[in-house]
Amino acid sequence: MATTTEAATTVAAEAAKAAAEASPMSQFQIERYIPLNLFGYDASFTNSALAMVLAAAICIGFIWYAMRHRSLIPNRMQSVAEMAYEFVHNIVKQTAGEEALGYFPVVFTLFMFILVSNLIGLINIPGVSHYYAPFTSTSHIIVTFALAALVFVGVTIIGIAKNGFGFLKLFVPSGVPWPMLIILVPIEVISYFTRPISLSVRLFANMMAGHTLLKVFGGFVVGLGLLGGWAPLIFMVPFTGLEVLVAFLQAYVFAILTSIYLNDALHIHH
Amino acid sequence: MGPEAARLIGAGIACIALAGAGVGIGNIFGNYLSGALRNPSAAQGQFGNALLGFALAEATGLFGLVMAFIILYSK
């Protein structure tokens, strides 16, 4: 009697583990590939770190490989690299002006890194996913918060370095009668400090929600099998296209908001 | 009502915030379309602003979704 109950509990435990592994949230699980302990901090090389290394390698490798001839009349691959460059260049020039083009490399790096990180999580190569399931490093709030904190702290330092204490004029809109200023200035200060939160949570929530929805509908396709699986599949195909669009859009919005905050810091007079 | 049931109900109620996201996004693109039908030549230049407005409106809805996930999955 004891052995059958033990067998039943192990079967139930294995079923629960299998269900947890197949759940839509299991794709965000961090797995350590190379455990590493650095002064008491867990600095293991995880699948998130691998995804970030891959994103950086793809960005650098793509631009380097596309521009290796540097011909005046671009071939196809160089055209794509030039399109990406021109796209971000126009964003920075139109929102922050010509003199902010010194900060263009940061905005371009942010744009390309976020775009490639978002897209990496959508590509599933059969056979490889047994060892390394596709992982979106930007679907973790800590990664997007690091990027948003970089932008926020950097823009604040740039603003203070350029304007000194005149930087505080950012919170005082011009042409407002002084009784309203008493209410308006705290609101402006609070809304300034919610910038990194909104920047990071926007990217994180879009990535997590989108990829979770993809996994849920993928589960429907497999669950309904050969006879009924075509119905969710018909929805999945345009929805995956929407997720690719959202990946582009979130990278674009991050870049353009960075440029807008830079413009606010560089040109304080409203 | 145990904590697990309350967790599920709370996550469901928190998702009502996404209605605001839907209304906001529809508002932005509806105004963009009506403006584009009046002035088609100026429409392409403002498409970038339309996408920026869409992302900002969706962000507030997704803040609610993040609260729903926090309620659902925190220990």
**Does A6 map to a domain?**
no
Chain-chain contact of B66 with A206 (C-beta, under 8 angstroms): no
Task: Report helix, strand or coil for A42.
Answer: strand
Contacts of A206 in chain B (CB under 8 A): 58, 62
Chain-chain contact of B59 with A198 (C-beta, under 8 angstroms): yes
Distance from CA of B18 to the nearest CA of A (A): 12
Range of the structural domain that residue A111 is part of: 32-266
**Quick check: A88 and A104 in contact, CB under 8 A?**
yes
Chain-chain contact of A253 with B62 (C-beta, under 8 angstroms): no
Task: Count A/B contacts: CB-CB distance under 8 Å.
Answer: 37
Chain-chain contact of B51 with A202 (C-beta, under 8 angstroms): no
pLDDT value at A189 more than 60: yes
Contacts of B58 in chain A (CB under 8 A): 202, 206
Chain-chain contact of A201 with B51 (C-beta, under 8 angstroms): no
**Does A91 map to a domain?**
yes
Task: Give how many domains chain A has, as a whole number.
Answer: 1
The closest alpha carbon to A132, from A142, A121, A147, belongs to A121
**Does A26 map to a domain?**
no
Q: CA torsion angle for B14, A201, A211, B62 (degrees, to 10)?
A: 30
pLDDT tens digits along A20-36: 566 778 888 888 888 88
* Domains along the sequence of chain B with CATH: 3-73 (1.20.20.10)
Residue numbers of chain B with a pLDDT score lower than 50: none
**Does A204 map to a domain?**
yes
Torsions phi, psi for A42 (to 5 deg): -80, 100
Question: Which among B48, B62, B73 has the least Cβ separation from residue A205?
Answer: B62
Question: Which among A201, A250, A253 has the least Cβ separation from residue B66?
Answer: A201
pLDDT tens digits along A90-115: 999 999 888 889 999 999 999 999 99
With tokens 């055209």, the residue in question is: A79
State both tokens at A84: 């990406």
**Does A15 map to a domain?**
no
pLDDT tens digits along A146-181: 999 999 999 999 999 988 888 888 888 888 888 888
Which stretch of DSSP H or E encloses residue A33?
strand A32-34
Q: Report how far residue A192's alpha carbon sits from residue A160's, in angstroms, rounded to the nearest whole number.
A: 14
Chain-chain contact of A201 with B62 (C-beta, under 8 angstroms): yes
pLDDT tens digits along A215-225: 898 888 888 88
**Does A1 map to a domain?**
no
The 3-class secondary structure across chain B, one letter per residue, is CCHHHHHHHHHHHHHHHHHHHHHHHHHHHHHHHHHHHHCHHHHHHHHHHHHHHHHHHHHHHHHHHHHHHHHHHCC
The half-sphere exposure of A169 on its side-chain side, counting CA atoms within 13 A, is 14
**Does A3 map to a domain?**
no
Mean of the per-residue pLDDT values of chain A:
87
**Does A89 map to a domain?**
yes
